[in-house]
Chain A
Amino acid sequence: MFEKNLSRREFLRKAAVTGAGLALAGCAPKVVKETVVVEKEVEKTVEKVVTATPAMIEPTEVLHWNWLSASDAEVWQSVIDDFNDANENTQIRMELVPDAEWATKVMPAVAAGVGPDFGWAAPAAGLEPDFVDKGILVPLDDLAHDVGLDMDDFAEGPLNVCRYAAFDNKLYGIPLDVMTMALEINADHAQEAGLDIENPPQTGEELLEWADAMTVREGDKVVRSGMLMGPSIQNTVVWGIVSGQMGYKRVSDDLKTACVNPEAGKEAMQWIYDLYEKHKVSTLEVTDRYKAFGVGQGSMFITGPWTVSGYLEAGVNYISIHVPKIGKEQKTYLEVGSLGLYTQPDTSRYATTMQAVKWLSDNSFKWTTEGRGAAARKSVLSRADYQTSGLPWAQRGAFVDEKALEMATIPIGYGLTEGGFDFIIYAGENYLAQTLDSVWYGEKSIDEAMDLICQKYQEHLDAAA
């Protein structure tokens, strides 16, 4: 064997040669590969032109991003599968993007030209003015007309929610479902407490009586909530509904004045605060409200239709009724689920995507009977089997029947171009929820909290004007 001393000069020379060689080795095959791929594609195209029949043409793939989860996601997946089975020329590729990441993923992706073709509006229809303003969403009036979508078949309310008054009242979503909130009652707890489940509470007083009867306490401490509340998002949305019933409006109809009838908003805060402190039928120590109702930690729960399927699968014995009349008017929450098209570098994709959305809308029966929400299409609502198909009407009805849709006049939020997120009542992280939290935990008075909310709202409205 021989030894060789490696000088610094020689080392540097060899390192440079090795590095250059690796770089070339990395580059060269790619060039060769691309050539091969290009040649194969040319061959394929030639073959297609010579021998093509419609069945041999590759289907167009439409990319769909979706933030639905749990049982909603399962039903929606089956709807997409139905579409793919029924349409040979177009296939939908669905990708899940968790709703927590939706805000930070969609706009950058679309801006970079790699966004989805269509997706569910987040958090709901009519609440994406940023997207409209930035040109992320495509206006749909003309596209809907071109594909022959029957706009007269849509219920007027949901369709209007998908229009943006600040942007020439153009349509930016096709409504697929209408969600309200109703009151779910654990039938076993009601029976234990000697309550007649056939005559559920209809007023605020009856609601409190039922809550008191079903609450389990250890001394002063609530261990099973008669009226399940908490965490932030639940308190906020119930306040939104109760304050709406009592006559409070977050924004005037002309979107210029914040906090119409703030006294009603304060009364609603007091009503919720009393659940914890005065009536002691609720506890703030709930970390997961869905799980809490599902395992029997709560007896009554104001929630949305997205829970129906999951609780039925879990074997919870419950019924759902319209939200009782706690205030002056019996109202409930309104949220519309819609599909919107995102801007693409290749605008010729819009026609195909719109065809797919039309199919999903025309065939929304499955989604609105087995999934969630009421149908946005009159033809679906009027079907004879609408009540008897899908999830049982005893659990589903109160969310989607005619009365529920009439009651649903408290909007989840407003399509404001400035600070819109803070107006949303179905949120646990916005300014509204954080300020309301300080009331439940005794850090701020009700008057102080309402003043802060109104001040913040007016600032947003003035900035948006």
Chain B
Amino acid sequence: MTSMVKQRWTVSGVRNRLRRMTWRGQRIDWSGYILVAPFLTLFVLFNAIALLFGLYLSCNEWEVVGRPEWVGLANFREILADDLAREAFLNTFRYVLVIAPGVTIVAFVLALFVHQQWPGHIVSRAAFFSPVVCAPTAVGLIWVWMLDTQFGLINQYLGRLGIPPVPWLTSPDWSWLGVSLMSVWWDTGFSFVLFLAALQDVPAELREAAQVDGATRWQVVWNIILPLLRPVTSMVITLQVIATLRIFSQISVMTQGGPAGSSMSAIMYLYSYGLSRYRFGYASAVAVLLLLATLLITLVNRWLVKEKV
């Protein structure tokens, strides 16, 4: 008996037991788990635990030094009562409505341009992707100069078309649009690559057959290419919506959330009114609300833009 117990807990004994373990009638293949273990460990440590800590912190007041003090839902009540917080969240949703479709459409058009191998497509391939690798601070500062009301490049060109100068960053009506413009330019590269890869999977025979049947270019795009690209379009929209809900660096560099809070985003509000004032509990509460909004919007988005062709 003793020898049987001993045998059970030896290396070979444990190995045998693991090998014989089953889940729903099937033997468990432990090699997969071993291979994902490194990633899983880091994910649990730096993502899952951090998320749980953030959820816990959102119900506390904590100023870095000392222990968190439990306050229940007080932080959430304070956020919902703050006009500026409400404005920040509404601005964020407005950014999503402009930037996500903007990036999707522009990325698709650019990918089509490169895929069709129109003149300049070789250089364009690198040029369209390059904004993605630029630091947001540098990009933001350049766009501040470009969007300057009196001396900015964009107003100079608009002036040549007879359009009066637009106060891109100095008017509450236009500041969020100026930020959106920069964001579309900056974010398009990654989606462009996704669309370009997907376009290369569209069977050439389908396009050729349609052209033989007399379809115009636009009809080919609308009736053949776009439906086949539905899965990647859905993914691009989802990723862009999530990224836009977290918009921060460009606002911080370009407008600091002004003027009059008109370009403030939820994360900018979290940084200015939470982290910078050492209110980590309050900042966590803002983050939790943003997480819930992100989940809800993503679910709605996935339901509206189904992946199946």
Q: Contact residues of A with B, CB < 8 Å?
A: 8, 11-12, 15, 100, 103-104, 107-108, 111, 130, 134-136, 223, 230-232, 284-288, 297, 421, 428-429, 431, 433-434, 437-438, 440-441, 443
Contact between B258 and A437 (Cβ–Cβ < 8 Å)?
yes
Which of B34, B165, B259 has the most chain A CB within a 10 Å cutoff?
A: B259
Q: A287-B149, A287-B170, A434-B261 are in contact. Are A134 and B65 (CB under 8 A)?
A: yes
20 contacts between A and B (CB under 8 A): A12-B31, A103-B275, A103-B277, A104-B275, A107-B278, A111-B65, A130-B63, A134-B64, A223-B150, A232-B256, A232-B259, A286-B170, A287-B170, A288-B144, A421-B276, A428-B256, A429-B256, A437-B258, A440-B260, A443-B172
Contact between B259 and A107 (Cβ–Cβ < 8 Å)?
no
**Which residue of chain A has the shortest Cβ distance to B149 in the bound complex?**
A285
Chain B nearest CB from A453 CB (Å) reads 13
B54 adjacent to chain A (CB < 8 Å): no
C-alpha spacing A438/B65, complex, angstroms: 35
Q: Mark B167-187, 1 if CB is under 8 A from A, else 0.
A: 101111000000000000000
Which chain A residues lie closer than 8 Å to B63 at the CB level?
107, 130, 134
**Which residue of chain B has the shortest Cβ distance to A224 in the bound complex?**
B150
Which chain B residues lie closer than 8 Å to A134 at the CB level?
63-66
Other A-B pairs, 5, CB within 8 Å; known A231-B258, A437-B258: A130-B63, A134-B63, A285-B149, A441-B259, A441-B260
Which chain A residues lie closer than 8 Å to B65 at the CB level?
107, 111, 134-136
Contact between B259 and A231 (Cβ–Cβ < 8 Å)?
yes
Contact between A230 and B170 (Cβ–Cβ < 8 Å)?
yes
Contact between A441 and B172 (Cβ–Cβ < 8 Å)?
yes
Residue among A12, A15, A135, A438 making CB contact with B260, cutoff 8 Å: A438
Chain A nearest CB from B31 CB (Å) reads 6
Contact between B150 and A297 (Cβ–Cβ < 8 Å)?
yes
Closest 3 CB pairs of A and B: A437-B260, A285-B149, A134-B65
Contact between B276 and A103 (Cβ–Cβ < 8 Å)?
yes
**Which residue of chain B has the shortest Cβ distance to A12 in the bound complex?**
B31
Which chain A residues lie closer than 8 Å to B256 at the CB level?
232, 428-429
C-alpha spacing A223/B149, complex, angstroms: 10
C-alpha spacing A135/B167, complex, angstroms: 46
C-alpha spacing A135/B66, complex, angstroms: 10
Contact between B277 and A421 (Cβ–Cβ < 8 Å)?
yes
Q: Mark B192-215, 1 if CB is under 8 A from A, else 0.
A: 000000000000000000000000
Tell me the dominant secondary structure on chain A's binding face: helix
Contact between B258 and A15 (Cβ–Cβ < 8 Å)?
no
B contacts with A, residue count (CB < 8 A): 30
Which of B30, B169, B260, B272 has the most chain A CB within a 10 Å cutoff?
A: B260
C-alpha spacing A103/B271, complex, angstroms: 10
Which chain B residues lie closer than 8 Å to A443 at the CB level?
172, 260
Which chain A residues lie closer than 8 Å to B272 at the CB level?
429
Which chain A residues lie closer than 8 Å to B66 at the CB level?
134
B307 adjacent to chain A (CB < 8 Å): no
Chain A nearest CB from B260 CB (Å) reads 4
Q: A130-B63, A287-B149 are in contact. Are A104 and B170 (CB under 8 A)?
A: no
Residue among B252, B261, B275 making CB contact with A437, cutoff 8 Å: B261
C-alpha spacing A372/B54, complex, angstroms: 43
C-alpha spacing A285/B258, complex, angstroms: 12
Tell me the dominant secondary structure on chain B's binding face: loop
Which chain B residues lie closer than 8 Å to A433 at the CB level?
258
Which chain B residues lie closer than 8 Å to A223 at the CB level?
150
Which chain A residues lie closer than 8 Å to B170 at the CB level?
230-231, 284-287
Contact between A434 and B144 (Cβ–Cβ < 8 Å)?
no
Chain A nearest CB from B36 CB (Å) reads 13
Which chain A residues lie closer than 8 Å to B171 at the CB level?
284-285, 441
Contact between B144 and A130 (Cβ–Cβ < 8 Å)?
no
**Which residue of chain A has the shortest Cβ distance to B66 in the bound complex?**
A134
B257 adjacent to chain A (CB < 8 Å): yes
Residue among B34, B144, B167, B277 making CB contact with A285, cutoff 8 Å: B167
Residue among B31, B252, B259, B275 making CB contact with A284, cutoff 8 Å: B259
B84 adjacent to chain A (CB < 8 Å): yes
Which chain B residues lie closer than 8 Å to A135 at the CB level?
65
Which chain A residues lie closer than 8 Å to B259 at the CB level?
231-232, 284, 437, 440-441
Which chain B residues lie closer than 8 Å to A421 at the CB level?
276-277
Which chain B residues lie closer than 8 Å to A438 at the CB level?
260-261
Which chain A residues lie closer than 8 Å to B31 at the CB level?
8, 11-12
Which chain B residues lie closer than 8 Å to A136 at the CB level?
65
Which chain A residues lie closer than 8 Å to B148 at the CB level?
287
Chain B nearest CB from A411 CB (Å) reads 20
C-alpha spacing A135/B64, complex, angstroms: 12
Which chain B residues lie closer than 8 Å to A297 at the CB level?
150
Which chain A residues lie closer than 8 Å to B252 at the CB level?
100
Chain A nearest CB from B309 CB (Å) reads 37
Chain B nearest CB from A47 CB (Å) reads 42
Contact between B64 and A108 (Cβ–Cβ < 8 Å)?
yes
C-alpha spacing A290/B272, complex, angstroms: 23
Chain A nearest CB from B111 CB (Å) reads 34
Chain B nearest CB from A372 CB (Å) reads 23
C-alpha spacing A249/B148, complex, angstroms: 35
Which chain B residues lie closer than 8 Å to A100 at the CB level?
252
C-alpha spacing A464/B187, complex, angstroms: 44
Which chain A residues lie closer than 8 Å to B258 at the CB level?
231-232, 428-429, 433-434, 437
C-alpha spacing A443/B259, complex, angstroms: 11
C-alpha spacing A431/B273, complex, angstroms: 10
C-alpha spacing A434/B259, complex, angstroms: 7
Q: A107-B65, A134-B65, A284-B259 are in contact. Are A434 and B172 (CB under 8 A)?
A: no
Q: A15-B34, A134-B66, A434-B84 are in contact. Are A429 and B257 (CB under 8 A)?
A: yes
C-alpha spacing A284/B175, complex, angstroms: 12
Which chain B residues lie closer than 8 Å to A287 at the CB level?
144, 148-149, 169-170
Q: A231-B259, A437-B259, A437-B261 are in contact. Are A103 and B167 (CB under 8 A)?
A: no
C-alpha spacing A297/B30, complex, angstroms: 70
Chain A nearest CB from B307 CB (Å) reads 34
C-alpha spacing A379/B171, complex, angstroms: 49
C-alpha spacing A107/B62, complex, angstroms: 13
Which chain A residues lie closer than 8 Å to B257 at the CB level?
429
C-alpha spacing A231/B144, complex, angstroms: 13
Residue among B172, B275, B278 making CB contact with A130, cutoff 8 Å: B278
Q: Which of B247-269 contact A (CB under 8 A)?
A: 252, 256-261
C-alpha spacing A429/B167, complex, angstroms: 20
C-alpha spacing A231/B170, complex, angstroms: 8
C-alpha spacing A443/B34, complex, angstroms: 60
